[in-house]
Structure 1
Amino acid sequence: MTASSLSLPNASHSPWIRRWSDGTAPRLRLICLPHAGGSAGFYRPWAALLPPEVELLAIQYPGREDRYEDPATASMDELVTALADVLSPLLDRPYALFGHSMGSAVAWELAHELNGRGAPAPRRLFVSGRAAPGTAVVGDVHRQDDDVLCAELRRLGGTSSEVLDDPGLRALVLGTVRDDYRLIETYRPSVRPRLDCPVHVLTGSEDPELGQERISERAGGWADLTTARTEVRTFPGDHFYLTPRRREVVATVLRRMDPSLTTGGHMWPSTP
């Protein structure tokens, strides 16, 4: 698939949302929330693996890529309120939320914020690479020096050594990462009623953040946050298993959103 076969992101709609669509009216929407230091572009390759019935809405947090000059969000509440404001008009059809690492906590908070506004609930909540809010281990990496922050990024993977070894690039990356770590490490979830949508927990088999020992404890705590079914799917890989296992992850998401999306002879383009 060539870059021209997908339309450019519709940035005019909102600085918070990136869309890569061929113009087909979607039946479902998949709203994806990035990890700490991540951007909407992390999910762009997913667009080529989705059928026309599903529109990808990738969230662009401030302080990165084309929003580099926008001030970082100060708190989880501020972030979720802004997201609910821009997403509410787009919930006119069934949707699912997918969050990786920090994004999983954002997705959970967003589901509650939308519920409090009387908006439609997500059909599914997909949470990846992090234990449930209130049970996830909270550190103080954002208070440490650059060497400690770099060591944390190397531990998790997902950031190339070329970037971390280049002083200029490292400075650009670490500012955003530190802001995101500050947000998630100072976040303290409120006690909330359980959601009523199914929760799907995805993890890498070698993920240092959510290993097999922790995932066995009621799906990393996620099972206690919904009245519906909780399912766990483990993929080979580390914290960023999503990149090498992209095709399998997207197929899993589609199957859980609507089984008809992966049956009936559908064939979708692929990316490396």
Structure 2
Amino acid sequence: MTTVIGPGAWLPRAPSPTAAGRVFNLPHAGYGAGVFGRWPDRMSGIEFLPVELPGRMPRFLDPMPATFAELARDLIDGLARYLDVPFAFFGHCWSALVAYEVTAQLQAAGGPTATRLYVSGQMAPQDGPAGRMLAMDDAALRAELTATIRAQGNEPHRELLDLYLGMLRADVEMSRRYVVPDPLRLRCPITAIGWTEDNDVRPERMTGWPVCGETAFELFDGRHERFLDAPPELLETLCAGIAPRA
């Protein structure tokens, strides 16, 4: 029987008990699980599960942890029961670091081993903190949010924009505190995904990921946030990297 997941949980949608594998999709800084709204629920037997982080709708009342380490610990507790099939984490930009930290903590604790880690549009943890948002004041961050919302075909609402700005500022400060000079080397392979028109994190700045584990590099056409459109080549890459365990 499918588990019903209520408001405030990590997963807005209940995982399928018949899935051959799961990719947990972590939203980028300042956003919630809704950014994966254009993604299919499932492809080739692999389901894509957006993760709802604290402080986002409908979890505004759940405080966001102050560090990636705390967030990863809480996320593992919330998802533990769903790591019973081959699984991977996908993170883009800010959330690529969350995805790495979750995978590393699972390994360090002797927990279930991820089949693969997918990181998109982000430098390796030992090469940061980095990113143009670190230098932005609140006015610049508000302009960034406004432009992103309009690029998605929506008009920003002032009160919602205030809430999103608070989330984005908290996420940026969390990234500023994430200093990992000697990252744990993962046992699972990593796929590092760059984008040809990404002017936020150029693909050539992602070359540090092999320090964190065996790494395959992929380069796809598009801008920094093209992942929102669920490009077929990205979805195919995610599915191909999750093979059922023997």
**% same residue:** 31
Q: Aligned in 2, Cα 1:9/1:252: closer, same or farther, shift over 3 Å?
A: farther
Q: 1:195 to 1:147 in 2, by over 3 A?
A: same
Q: Count residues with an aligned counterpart.
A: 242
Equivalent of residue 40 in structure 1, options 33, 38, 47: 33
Structure-2 separation of matches of 1:165 and 1:57: 26
Q: Which runs of structure 2 are paired with 1:95-174 in the superposition (5 Å)?
A: 95-138=87-130, 141=133, 144-153=136-145, 158-160=148-150, 166-174=157-165
Using CA pairs below 8 Å that are at least 6 residues apart, which structure has the higher relative contact order? 2
Name structure 2 gaps, 5 residues minimum: none
Q: Distance in 1 between matches of 2:234 and 2:123?
A: 18
Q: Which runs of 5+ in 1 are unaligned?
A: 1-7, 260-272
Deviation at 1:40, TM superposition (A): 1.4
Structure 2 counterpart of 1:200: 191
Q: Secondary structure at the match of 1:257?
A: coil
Residue 223 (1) aligns with residue 205 (2): no
Structure 2 Cα separation of the partners of residues 74 and 164 of structure 1 = 30
- The 2-side partners of 1:139 and 1:212 are apart by 13
Q: Deviations over 1:188-226 (max 9, x none)?
A: 2262331121111112211122214324xxxx3111111
Partner of 1:50: 43
- Based on CA coordinates, which of the two structures has the bigger radius of gyration? 1
**Length-normalised TM-score, structure 2:** 0.85
Mapped contact 2:68–2:174 kept (Cα < 8 A): yes
Query: In structure 2, what is the equivalent of residue 5 of structure 1?
Result: none
Q: What one-letter code is carried by the residue in structure 2 that aligns with 1:50?
A: M
Where 2:47 maps in the other structure, the secondary structure is: strand
Q: Secondary structure at the match of 1:160?
A: helix
Which residues in structure 2 correspond to 1:241-260 (within 5 Å)?
A: 241-258=226-243
Q: What's the counterpart of residue 6 of structure 2? A: 12
Instruction: Find out whether 1:209 has 2:219 as its counterpart.
Output: no
Note if contact 1:26-1:55 (Cα within 8 Å) is conserved in structure 2: yes
Between the aligned partners of 1:9 and 1:175, the Cα distance in structure 2 is 32
Q: Distance in 2 between matches of 1:82 and 1:100?
A: 19
Shift in Å at residue 131 of structure 1?
0.7
Q: Match of 2:12, SS?
A: strand
Secondary structure of 2:90's aligned partner: strand
Distance 1:37 1:176 in 2: 5
CA distance in 2, matches of 1:177, 1:58: 18
- What is the CA–CA distance in structure 2 between the aligned matches of 1:248 and 1:175, rounded to whole Å? 33
Q: Deviations over 1:224-259 (max 9, x none)?
A: 111x3x222222221101133532211121122249
Match of 1:191 among 176, 179, 182: 182
After superposition, what is the alpha-carbon deviation per residue over 1:130-170, rounded to whole angstroms, capped at 9, x for unaligned? 1110213436846853222134447xx64326868653332
Q: Could you say what the CA RMSD is over the residues aligned between the two structures, in angstroms?
A: 2.8
- Of 18, 40, 44, the residue aligned with 1:25 is 18
The answer to whether the Cα contact below 8 Å between 2:38 and 2:229 also exists between their aligned partners in 1 is no
